[in-house]
Structure 1
Amino acid sequence: MAGSGALSGTTPLDRVSDFPAIPAGWSYLDTAATSQKPQAVIDAITRAYDTTYATVHRGVYQRSADMTLAYEAARRRVASFIGAGGPEECVFVRGATEGINLIAQGWAERHLKAGDRILLSMLEHHSNIVPWQLIAERIGVAIDVVPLTQDGRIDLDAMAAMIQPEHKLVSLAHVSNVLGSVLDARRAADIAHSVGAKLLLDGCQAVPRVAVDVAALDCDFYVFSGHKLYGPTGIGVLWGRPELLEAMHPVQGGGAMIDRVTFERTTYAPPPARFEAGTPHIIGALGLHAAIDYVDSIGLDAIHAHETALVTAARDALGRINSVRLLGPDDAAGIVSFVVEGVHPHDVGTILDEERVAIRAGHHCAQPLMDVLGVPATARASFGVYNGRSDVDALVRGLERVSRIFG
Structure 2
Amino acid sequence: MPPDVPLARLEVPDLEHGLREKLIRADRLRPGDRAAHSTTIYGVSLSGDMTDTVLGHAGNGYPDASIELDELTRVSLPWAGLEAVIGDVVDHHGDPVGVSPRTMVQNLVERFGALGLAPVLGFEYEVWVFEADAGRDLPLPARLARAGAMSDLVAELARRMAAIGHPLSAVRSEAHAGFIEVSIAHGPALHAADGAARARRYLAELCAERDLIASFMAKPFGGREGAAGHVHASLERDGVNLFAGGELTAEAAGFVAGLVDSLPDLTLMFNPHVNSFKRIDPRMWVPTSASWGYDDRRAACRVVLRPDASARVEHRRGGADANPYVSASAVLAGGIDGLERDLALPQPRLPSRRTVPVSLGEAIAAFEDSSFVDRLLPRRFAEAFAATRRAELARYRAWLDENITPFELARHVERA
Range class of TM-score, shorter chain: under 0.3
Give the number of the structure whose residues are more often strand, by fraction.
Answer: 2
Higher RCO (CA < 8 A, seq sep 6+): 1
Q: TM-score, normalised by structure 2?
A: 0.26
Give the number of the structure whose residues are more often helix, by fraction.
Answer: 1
